[in-house]
């Protein structure tokens, strides 16, 4: 099995200054009280128009984002490419509500696809459906028997047209495209939209990918069904496999609304389903493609072992590993050093607009068991190794 303990390879792209910044950042977000204070203080500072953007840009923004525009991300793209790691440009602006803003976001997503065209350093594009329509519309449409009003039907058709424009651009430019997973109470709508695009654009090869959150106990069976349906329908099914990002919110809503939680009973069940999904996809690569989005060392090592057991090439383009920029570099860089296909999500957007994304990263590093401690241990090990030279 692969070992992820070689910090010299893991952090070879980082200067001493980069390591020290990351050390103090993870140190701070690893303390729940300071992370909570930071969220409140940041929110107040923005409301009072205090000049804090410079401080944010040089710390948490620099750690987790590529820049404020696509052009700003050029340095990050080039830097990652030096180490054979691809970039997935992720326009991380959230919370918009107007048709004008939805159109602006649609055009920005299309611009990321155009940037990726013929560019080996950018192997995928990505978008969230909530970036181009109202959450409430997706929620109402989630129940296929819901009666949408005439204005809602028109609004939903506008959404379908936006999604189709984005997917057609990906197809025309041969750029694989991830459609991100979101809350369970809007996910059925997203699944139906995504699969309709697969039927349309995945006939020859895998362009459109759906995202499966394996902390949901129904997703393994759903993956089996999706791949079998794709085989019968004569199209390819792309899957970005993740554990999930909305667990607390999902459980709280289930209690509040009085329905069974869609979340697995425990982490062990999630891990088991994640690995089972990987195995099933690898056994159906005639129609399926996989991007394993994970910060889990065991999952990454297990996927590599499964590929070896099946005599699959490390560079098989149907199989990718992916992590977020600024996190789990030891996984990304060690895998790329071993010649596996690896990409980093590189979020970008105006600082104020991407704060919800940045605050989620802070929450994730505070709440995910062992995440911050692991990052700090590895960074400290590398700092000490360099001092010992």
Per-residue pLDDT band for 144 (boundaries 50, 70, 90) equals: confident
Tell me the pLDDT tens digit for each residue of 11-54.
Answer: 999 999 999 988 888 887 666 554 554 554 555 455 555 555 66
Q: Which residues contact 272 (CB under 8 A, 6 or more apart)?
A: none
Q: Which residue has the higher pLDDT, 188 or 369?
A: 188
Mean pLDDT of the chain: 91
In angstroms, the CA 42 to CA 357 distance is: 13
Q: What is the DSSP string of 333-360?
A: HHHHHTT--EEEEEEES-TTTTHHHHHH
Does the pLDDT of residue 360 top 80, yes or no? no
- Of the ranges 147-156, 261-270, 348-357, which one carries the lowest mean pLDDT score? 348-357
pLDDT for 344 equals 98
Q: Which residues contact 15 (CB under 8 A, 6 or more apart)?
A: none
Question: In 3D, which of 329, 347, 345, 325 has the Cα closest to residue 337?
Answer: 329
DSSP 8-state code for residue 70? T
In angstroms, the CA 292 to CA 152 distance is: 36
pLDDT for 354 equals 83
Which residue do the tokens 């651009």 mark? 169
- By three-state DSSP, how is residue 208 classified? strand
Domains of the chain: 96-293 (3.20.20.220)
Per-residue pLDDT band for 67 (boundaries 50, 70, 90) equals: very high
pLDDT for 245 equals 76
Tell me the pLDDT tens digit for each residue of 324-350.
Answer: 999 899 999 999 999 999 999 999 999
Does the pLDDT of residue 110 top 90, yes or no? yes
Q: Which residues contact 75 (CB under 8 A, 6 or more apart)?
A: 66, 67
In angstroms, the CA 4 to CA 331 distance is: 6
Does the pLDDT of residue 369 top 60, yes or no? no
Average pLDDT over residues 187-197: 98
pLDDT for 203 equals 98
In angstroms, the CA 82 to CA 164 distance is: 34
In angstroms, the CA 336 to CA 334 distance is: 5
Does the pLDDT of residue 186 top 70, yes or no? yes
Q: Which residues contact 36 (CB under 8 A, 6 or more apart)?
A: none
Does the pLDDT of residue 125 top 70, yes or no? yes
Which residue do the tokens 């990505």 mark? 126
In angstroms, the CA 240 to CA 148 distance is: 30
pLDDT for 37 equals 44
Average pLDDT over residues 359-371: 58
pLDDT for 194 equals 98
Does the pLDDT of residue 100 top 70, yes or no? yes
Question: In 3D, which of 85, 87, 89 has the Cα closest to residue 10?
Answer: 85
Question: Could you count the other beta carbons within 10 Å of the beta carbon of residue 244?
Answer: 20
Does the pLDDT of residue 358 top 80, yes or no? no
Average pLDDT over residues 165-181: 98
Per-residue pLDDT band for 373 (boundaries 50, 70, 90) equals: confident
Report percent pLDDT > 70 for the chain. 89
pLDDT for 39 equals 53
């Amino acid at each position: 099995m692969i070992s992820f303990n070689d910090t010299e390879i893991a952090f070879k792209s980082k200067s001493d200054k980069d390591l020290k910044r990351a050390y103090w950042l993870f140190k701070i977000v690893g303390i729940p009280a300071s992370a909570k204070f930071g969220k409140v203080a940041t929110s107040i500072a923005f409301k009072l128009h205090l000049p804090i953007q410079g401080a944010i840009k040089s710390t948490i923004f620099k750690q987790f984002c590529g820049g404020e525009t696509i052009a700003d991300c050029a340095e990050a793209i080039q830097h990652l490419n030096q180490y054979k790691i691809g970039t997935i440009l992720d326009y991380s602006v959230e919370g918009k509500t107007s048709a004008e803003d939805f159109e602006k976001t649609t055009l920005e997503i299309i611009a990321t696809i155009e940037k990726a065209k013929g560019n080996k350093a950018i192997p995928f594009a990505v978008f969230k459906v909530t970036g181009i329509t109202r959450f409430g519309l997706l929620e109402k449409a989630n129940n296929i028997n819901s009666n949408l009003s005439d204005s809602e039907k028109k609004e939903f058709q506008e959404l379908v047209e936006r999604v189709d424009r984005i997917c057609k651009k990906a197809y025309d430019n041969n750029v694989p495209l991830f459609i991100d997973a979101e809350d369970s109470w809007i996910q059925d709508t997203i699944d139906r939209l995504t699969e309709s695009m697969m039927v349309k654009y995945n006939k020859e090869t895998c362009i459109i990918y759906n995202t499966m959150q394996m902390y949901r106990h129904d997703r393994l069976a759903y993956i089996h069904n999706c791949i079998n349906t794709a085989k019968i329908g004569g199209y390819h099914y792309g899957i970005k496999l993740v554990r999930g990002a909305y667990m607390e919110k999902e459980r709280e809503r289930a209690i509040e609304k009085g329905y069974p939680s869609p979340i697995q009973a425990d982490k062990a069940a999630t891990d088991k389903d994640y690995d089972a999904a990987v195995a099933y996809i690898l056994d159906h690569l005639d129609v399926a493609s996989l991007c394993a989005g994970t910060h889990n060392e065991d999952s990454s090592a297990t996927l590599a072992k499964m590929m070896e057991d099946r005599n699959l090439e490390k560079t098989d383009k149907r199989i990718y590993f992916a992590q977020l920029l600024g996190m789990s570099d030891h996984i990304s860089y060690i895998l790329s050093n071993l010649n596996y296909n690896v990409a980093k999500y590189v979020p970008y957007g105006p600082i104020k607009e991407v704060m919800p994304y940045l605050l989620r990263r802070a929450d994730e590093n505070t709440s995910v068991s062992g995440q911050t401690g692991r990052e700090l241990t590895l960074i400290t090990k590398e700092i000490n190794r360099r001092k010992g030279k």
